[in-house]
Chains A and B, each alone.
Chain A
Amino acid sequence: MSIAAEQHALRDDGLNGLQLSTRLESIWRTPSGFLGALMSVDHKVVGRRYIVTSFAFLLLGGLLAVLMRVQLARPENTFLSADKYNQIFTMHGSTMMFLFAVPVMEAFAVYLVPLMVGTRNLAFPRLNAFSYWMFLFGGCFLWISFALNVGPDVGWFAYVPLSSLQYTPTKRPDVWAQMITFTEVAALAVAVEIVVTVFKQRAPGMTLDRIPLFVWAMLVTAFLVMFAMPSIMVASTSLILDRLVNTRFYDSSSGGHSLLWQHLFWFFGHPEVYIIFIPGTGMVSAILATFARRPVVGYPVVILSLIATGFLSFGLWVHHMFVTGLPQLGAGLFTASSMLIAVPSGLQIFCWLATLWDGRPVYRTPLLFVVGFIVIFVMGGLSGVMVASVPIDTQVHDTYFVVAHFHYVLIGGAVFPLIGAVYYWFPKITGRMLSEKLGRWNFWLAFVGFNVAFFPMHILGLIGMPRRVYTYTADMDWAHLNLLSSGGAVIFALSFALLLVNAIRSLRSGALAGDNPWDASTLEWATSSPPPPQNFDRIPVVKHRDPLWLDSASLPVVAGLSVERREVLLTSLAEAEPQIREGSPEPSIWPLLTAIATTVFFIGSIFTPWAVLWGTPPMAVTLIGWFWPAGSKEDEE
């Protein structure tokens, strides 16, 4: 039982290329069959599921958006009742923010970060599997409730006292509050995995100033998640306690305070926008470098901007509360910091423009979406600087101007880069290219449809149309612009249908991609497409920021990892010096069972506080099953 005894294990040095890959594949692959699929802890398998699931929620959320636009297309429409409309805009906002935008970004990170830093799996693969199941169950819970007509109807921000028992005595806000907990548990788990993977599992030689920009962006995002999400969890737990066991957090008759809700909510809600936007910038940097055929200009500037944006985003939550009556000085301060955040974003945009300017850009679909992003995002930024000013915000607050602004920021800042990223990484994930011709159609439909749908909303807001209204009268003169906007929304929706068609066609018969179809420079392109279970036969050694461009003749690698058990190489934090060959967990059914137990616990507790008692033992049992080291190779010697 000494260290020496563990080192007799066969290593990779004595094997030739083919023997090595077969051996590694057999120890890293996901077990076959249905049960095997449920046990998978491969970050690529889980990441793919995560991506597909969050896109499914995008489709559902988008469907609701189209329903809303149909209702608003003409005055005094009776397509949806006021009550249904409330549910639909709540479900739209909640689905988009909690089940699509954040998860999809983390999903890309789950798939890509290990490949981009040159390791074989995430730091905590079982936690990762658990996170996916929690996300899936939380999302299904929300949508099944909606289908059963108990979906939430109090807005994606669930303001109290509207969401208090007194005003909404149904189960609807409880569903919302528990859905938050599900998705937050999932998001937090992924955040910790990303941080540890980036800190400890980078390929030897990948010093801090050689980390790909997308990975940097995901690292900053992971920290934002870790510091912002606890706030919404405290908020929603307090809300559900108020509703279920009569606590008084938000009850002003007993010393509670409804503004407490707004502070807790926006302390999370504002960084949330950056949690969605910063990964988008990472995708933009990755795509730009590849298609401009040169590294992004100002690498350190981009990283500092990312970090500065992360910090500033926490100072800003109060700008959502200008109309709640804050002390004058406070408002001034928050106005200043709201405008300040435009600076790092502006710097990044200049770096990207310089990259395009100085490069030899090849306008393939991913790059088109990046250019679309820059245009739309700059416009969203401008209207953002407008609403950051207290006098203007007081005027346009709760009008369609705000709806226009945040869709410009969210869709421009996140969805456009994301679709670009789909075109860019689809070949790596599936082994096949998407059609370029359909891609161009996709882009132009999206770009035109988006602007036609959302630009008129600025004007509608300025001429007084409030948000969250289910209809309006003809004498308001809002009809033409609303019709235009609805038409645009349909075109925009069609662009997603086209993406779906393109993906399905390409899965069947797309051109084969090969390892590195775009001639990109980062490590995920150094392995085959799709990558084998072990990601890399030998772990690469990084000597430059753009290894595949500068070491294109021959990639330096390390030898000496085990071929008898799952092993990852741990390296030092700053210099990425190899330190340890650490075991990596085997597939396991326990994360799924734990997620099921947790789901029973969470949902049960909506209906009876006793669920906290009888729901705990199964959670404890499944957790012990999870952590008990049975079946791991190192313990069976």
Chain B
Amino acid sequence: MRQTIVRDVSELPTYGYGPRSGPWWGAMGFMALEGMGFAIAIGAYLYLYAVNPNWPIGATPPDLWPGTAETIIYLLSIIPNEMTNRAAHRQDLAKVRTGLIVMSLIGIGLLVLRGFEFAHLNTRWDNTAYGSIVWLILGLHTTHLVTDLGDTVVLTVLMFTRHAKPRRFSDVTDNVFYWNFVVLAWLPLYVLLDWVPRL
């Protein structure tokens, strides 16, 4: 088939930020389906809550302090996260490195705290359906925390190698974006796990 060149795209950039880039949309896609997973799990919780006359079944509600402490740290973590984001947009390598290290440390801290949270649920997964669903939901969110932390740590290491090319800053902003999702997903779960059993 004959062809006519109608446009030259050689001046276009080779990477971009946010909705201009492909990986950002990939992250959006995964957030959508993971968000759906959380929604379904919340639905299952509420379903079990609705069909059981007593709630929580055979247990006291979870102790409040670990979940609350986590919620506060999650919310505060948005600040260094946002600073990392800005530094990445400015392509400020030194600041990005610091930001990523801070975010990795916060992630590790939250993971430790998560251990306490499991211990203070005041029920085991095999006690009753109540125990099962709270362990499942907390487990789902913990999986997110772990994968995002893994991602952040790898990216941190990467930024200290020769691979710290300009386009990697776009990866950093996607990582920032994903962290916000982990935070956002936590808030309804916190209310569900820690406050609904106290209603």
Contact = CB atoms under 8 A, between A and B. Distances in A.
B165 A635 contact: yes
Interface string A244-261: 011111010011110010
State which size class the interface on A falls in: 35 or more
Interface stretch (B8-16, B70-78, B110-118, B189-197): B8-16
A124 B26 contact: yes
A586 B157 CA distance: 22
A11 B14 CA distance: 13
Contacts of B51: 257
Interface string A184-200: 00001001100110011
Contact of A538 (B5, B128, B154, B162): B5
Nearest to A254: B128
A316 B105 CA distance: 46
B1 A251 contact: no
B150 A204 contact: no
A541 B26 CA distance: 25
A255 B20 contact: no
State which size class the interface on B falls in: 35 or more
Contacts of B133: 249
Nearest to A17: B3
B136 to A, nearest CB: 7
Interface string B30-61: 10111011001100100110011000011000
A118 to B, nearest CB: 13
B167 A195 contact: no
Interface string A224-247: 001101110110011001100111
B125 A200 contact: no
B132 interface: yes
Which secondary structure dominates where chain A touches chain B? Answer: mixed
B48 A582 contact: no
A195 B28 CA distance: 10
Contact of A583 (B5, B14, B125, B162): B14
A554 B10 contact: no
Contacts of A553: 2
Contacts of B127: 248, 254
B5 A579 contact: no
Interface in B160-194: 162-163, 165-168
A267 interface: yes
Contacts of B8: 13, 558-560
B109 interface: no
A515 B1 contact: yes
Contacts of A257: 47-48, 51, 129
A1 interface: yes
A553 B29 CA distance: 39
B158 interface: yes
Nearest to A560: B10
A238 B132 contact: yes
Contacts of B12: 560, 569, 578-581
Contacts of A264: 40, 44
A64 to B, nearest CB: 31
A7 interface: yes
A192 B129 contact: no
Given A234-B136, A538-B5, 14 more contacts: A13-B10, A195-B25, A204-B7, A234-B41, A241-B136, A247-B135, A249-B136, A255-B58, A538-B3, A555-B4, A556-B5, A560-B10, A581-B12, A635-B163
Q: What are the 5 closest A-B residue pairs judged by CB atoms, nearest first?
A: A560-B10, A247-B132, A192-B29, A255-B129, A230-B37
Interface of B: 1-16, 19-22, 25-26, 29-30, 32-34, 36-37, 40-41, 44, 47-48, 51-52, 57-58, 125-133, 135-136, 150, 154, 158, 162-163, 165-168
9 contacts: A11-B10, A226-B32, A226-B36, A229-B33, A255-B130, A260-B44, A538-B5, A569-B9, A623-B150
